[in-house]
Amino acid sequence: QVQLVESGGGLVQPGGSLRLSCSASAFTLAYFRIGWFRQAPGKEREGVSCISSSDGSTYYADSVKGLFTISRDNAKNTVYLQMNSLKPDDTAVYYCAGDHGWGRCRPNWGTANLYDYWGQGTQVTVSS
């Protein structure tokens, strides 16, 4: 069974940083395009970033460009989301999602229904 697990969320002050991790058991993340999404209370799920399976190319929502960095360590079977200069608006449950296939992230990578596999989410709260 394909299962993704997020970790690294928590409470952080505005301007702080967090690094989220997305790992998997029983299958290899290297063959998945991995997206990070977030959902704040009362809002739709929003695509934050995506990393390709083939060449590691990365994609970001305009709201996080230059602030967040997605990366992958295939040896550790883990994808990371480094989040810097966090703002209260970044408060949300963050999810990683897997789109099985070899290639770059799809042009509409921020669309949730492209992804077949999801983690349970990790809460990120940015507050003083």
Nearest Cα neighbor of 6 from 19, 21, 26 is 21
Q: Give the list of residues 6+ apart from residue 114 with CB closer than 8 angstroms, or none.
A: 35, 99, 106, 108
C-alpha–C-alpha distance, residues 79 and 14, integer Å: 24
pLDDT category at 27 given cuts 50, 70, 90 is confident
DSSP class of residue 30 equals G
pLDDT for residue 37 is more than 80:
yes
Percent residues over pLDDT 70 in the chain: 98
